[in-house]
């Protein structure tokens, strides 16, 4: 099993939020399948609602919830290590000198 970094952006009305997750998969194809499956249930307030991936003609596939009022767009999925993921999160979510 390899580790993968998923970054996705939630668009909720006029606001956007970016999230980062680490997970395990056999290979890149498996990583995409797992990430999409997980995101299908990510916004659980609308369970049972038909959701369809919008991934034709776009480099960043997305899924819509609540009739399109909310969406989750995959920004990237990349192979990583736990250490690199941690280092990246510290770099991304900090400022000034960190020791």
Enter the pTM of the model. 0.84
Contact present, 60 and 37 (Cβ < 8 Å)? no
Domain spans in the chain, listed from the N-terminal domain onward? 2-92
pLDDT in tens, 71-91: 889 999 999 999 999 999 998
pLDDT in tens, 9-30: 999 888 999 999 999 999 999 9
């Amino acid at each position: 099993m390899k580790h993968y970094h998923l970054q996705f952006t939630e668009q909720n009305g006029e606001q956007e939020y970016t999230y980062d997750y680490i997970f395990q998969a056999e290979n890149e194809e498996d990583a995409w399948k797992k990430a999409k499956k997980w995101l299908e249930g990510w916004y659980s307030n609308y369970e049972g609602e038909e959701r369809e991936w919008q991934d034709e003609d776009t480099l960043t596939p997305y899924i819509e919830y609540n009739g399109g009022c909310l969406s989750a767009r995959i920004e990237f999925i990349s192979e990583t290590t736990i250490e690199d993921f941690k280092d990246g999160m510290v770099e991304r979510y900090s400022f000034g000198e960190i020791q």
